[in-house]
Amino acid sequence: MSGRATKTKERFFVHTLDNGLRCILKRVPTSAVCYCSMTIGVGSRDEREDEFGMAHLLEHTLFKGTTKRKAWQVNCRLENLGGELNAFTTKEETVVHATVLRKDFGKAVELMNDIIFHSTFPTAEVDKEKKVIYDEIGIYKDSPDERIYDEFEELLFEGSELGHVILGTRASLRRHTSKKIAAFVERNYTTDRMVFAVCGPISEAQFVREVERRFGSEPATAKSTQRVAPKEVAHFDKEIVDKGTHQVRSVMGCRAYALDDPKRVPLILLTNMLGGPTAASLLNVALRERNALTYCTEALYTPLSDTGIFTIFFSCDKENLERCREVVRAELKKLIEVPLTPRRLALTKKQFIGQFTISAENSEAYMLGVGKSFLAFGSVDTLGEIHARVEAITAEEIREVAEEILGNLSSLTYL
């Protein structure tokens, strides 16, 4: 048996193959289900100017045939066993993931190896899948709540690879061919940018045996390209007349901290308190509960490898737009100027720790998080370490982060 195996903190087992592909297992003996993912450090920001939409098109066409399977055989392989196979693309990752019963774990690993390393991208299938993505683009254009985020990020990262939409455009997709997709794979799908993560009732010995058998013979490859950090852009406040909707939609936001920035955790806590998924979030209380101005508001923070994105979203009737803006700015001003009270800080921490701990019980979501964390840091924090890090945050740290992030937000509004 080749490769290197190590135990990590709290129930994680890591095995690195000789080709550089890293494999991590969280063993859950009581489960009957295995959750598997291959996280590949390649997303839309890794596309060249003539490749917009390529990473997402590639994700779709991975399922359209391999050297030994037709498209229907790929799609039916796990579904006929009651399992699932799916994938998604972000600005910095492509993730292929599968869910199967314990006894079918080996079949899932074999299939994931086949589509990731041996897809053939048949021209007829690529052309059909372009039409599917055209429809997906149409759905986004008909969904202003989602479209506004894409347009906001285009403005926020203007001139950068981060500034174009993940789906690409009809015009850019028409230029992509099977040959170009294969070239994109060869340049980007390197073993040093891959992490295979599993959450389930698999022994360490079985885990090593399957990953060595299925992935171990693939040649070692390493990335030859470097990402370019986005240049600064000027502050903007832009309004677009969008005649197809009844309500106004508005996004306020800015660039934020990268994945390796120590201020990332205080900002996560601040974002959750400000507009997280609870009725008690500050913006929900101020806009909805206290003033009945909106049905929907949220705050989001997405850290990336060398930058981040912070946004606040709300929708409302047009006559309430200015009042909503005033209420949001008032809440932000308080966070910037006044440190949280000890009681409020304690409640904020308790709420976040509770949410995070409960979400960790979702093995599929947890497995996806493990893959991304291990790809970015080469390690995964335990729940205890995350709790300790959150508990150590001070009120002044949160106020300083609020001052840096919330003090000068750009905006995009659909009128």
| Ordered DSSP codes for 53-87 | THHHHHHHHTTSBBSS-BHHHHHHHHHTTT-EEEE
Instruction: Classify burial at 276, counting beta carbons within 10 Å of its beta carbon; exposed 0-12, middle 13-18, buried 19 or more.
Output: buried
Question: Are 106 and 19 members of one domain?
Answer: yes
Question: Which position has the token pair 């979203």?
Answer: 313
Question: Are 10 and 152 members of one domain?
Answer: yes
CB 162 within 8 A of CB 230: yes
Q: What stretch of H or E contains 38?
A: strand 33-40
- Which domain, by its residues, includes 303? 237-414
Structural domain count, the chain:
2
Question: Are 185 and 308 members of one domain?
Answer: no
Q: What stretch of H or E contains 411?
A: strand 410-414
Strand, helix or coil for residue 180: helix
The encoded tokens of residue 254 equal 């800015």
The encoded tokens of residue 342 equal 């000890």
Q: What angle do CA 180, 184, 189 make, to 5 degrees?
A: 150
Domain for residue 356, yes or no? yes
Question: Are 208 and 245 members of one domain?
Answer: no
Strand, helix or coil for residue 236: coil
**Please, which residues bridge with residue 40 across strands?**
94, 194
Domain for residue 248, yes or no? yes
Question: Are 184 and 249 members of one domain?
Answer: no
Domain for residue 316, yes or no? yes
**Please, which residues bridge with residue 70 across strands?**
65
User: How far, in Å, CA of 373 to CA of 367, rounded?
Assistant: 10
Domain boundary among 182, 215, 248: 215
What is the pLDDT at residue 38?
98
Question: Which position has the token pair 């409960």?
Answer: 358
User: How far, in Å, CA of 340 to CA of 334, rounded?
Assistant: 9
Domain for residue 391, yes or no? yes
| Cβ-count burial 386-405 (b if 16+ within 10 Å, e if not) | bbeebeebeeebbbebbeeb
What is the pLDDT at residue 10?
55
What is the pLDDT at residue 9?
47
Question: Are 168 and 262 members of one domain?
Answer: no
CA atoms within 13 A on the CB side of 341: 3
Please count the other Cβ atoms lying within 10 Å of the Cβ belonging to residue 146.
11
CB 58 within 8 A of CB 185: yes
Domain for residue 205, yes or no? yes
Domain for residue 225, yes or no? no
What is the pLDDT at residue 236?
97
- Angstrom CA distances, 391 to 183, 189, 340, stand at 47, 39, 14
CATH code, domain with 179: 3.30.830.10
Closest CA to 369 of 11, 34, 32, 37: 37
Domain for residue 76, yes or no? yes
The DSSP call for residue 181 is: H
- List the pLDDT tens digit at each of the 415 positions of the chain: 567 665 544 579 999 999 999 999 999 999 999 999 999 999 999 999 999 999 999 999 999 999 999 999 999 999 999 999 999 999 999 999 999 999 999 999 999 999 999 999 999 999 999 999 999 999 988 899 999 999 999 999 999 999 999 999 999 999 999 999 999 999 999 999 999 999 999 999 999 999 999 999 999 999 888 899 999 999 999 999 876 788 999 999 999 999 999 999 999 999 999 999 999 999 999 999 999 999 999 999 999 999 999 999 999 999 999 999 999 999 999 999 999 999 999 999 999 999 999 998 999 999 999 999 999 999 999 889 999 999 999 999 999 999 999 999 999 999 9
Domain boundary among 183, 215, 247: 215
Question: Are 184 and 281 members of one domain?
Answer: no
Domain for residue 230, yes or no? no
Question: Are 210 and 241 members of one domain?
Answer: no
Question: Are 195 and 272 members of one domain?
Answer: no
Please count the other Cβ atoms lying within 10 Å of the Cβ belonging to residue 382.
14
